[in-house]
Amino acid sequence: MLGAHPDLAQGRPEPDLVTVFFGGNDFDTFEGQKISEADMGKQFAAYQAVNVDRIRRMTKGSADVVLMTTAPGFKRWDTYKTLVDATKAAAKDKNAALCDIDAAFHAAGTAEDAVKAKYWHWDNVHMGPKGHEVICEAMMKLIEGK
């Protein structure tokens, strides 16, 4: 919540870039609700759209918003397509920037290639050193317009 930190409560700092990066745990929630993939995509796209609207409202439009696609996990290398597609649709609909982390991870080749490169920590879910590097590189390419 913005008011929780004194600097933010006083309106400082004013961000010029805000990233939105989530989805893995949300996928489990959707699966638990037993909703269709189509409805999952619609709901996730709506979440992303609300995120963009809130950020723009709270920053009074001063911040660029980057939606980042959900990063795959080792056991879920190709599982999050619905969330990835929903994020892309929301970014287009809301005229927000898109950083395709899913594509950046898949550039490694296979999940086995990515695990050998240390994309994840021991749990094969949370980012390891190479995973953080891949995300950083993808963001820098976006920022630099490459």
97-109 pLDDT, tens per residue? 999 999 999 999 9
pTM of structure: 0.88
Beta-carbon-side half-sphere exposure of residue 77 (alpha carbons within 13 Å): 13
Residues 6+ apart with CB under 8 A from 45: 86, 87, 89, 90, 93
**What tens digit of pLDDT does each residue of 109-138 get?**
999 999 999 999 998 888 999 999 999 999
DSSP codes joined into one string, 62-89: -SEEEEEPPPPPSTTTTTTHHHHHHHHH
Q: Tell me how far apart the alpha carbons of residues 80 and 86 are, in angstroms, rounded to a whole number.
A: 10
Instruction: Give dist(CA 8, CA 111) in Å, integer.
Output: 40
Taking every pair of Cα atoms in the chain, the longest distance, rounded to a whole number of angstroms, is 48
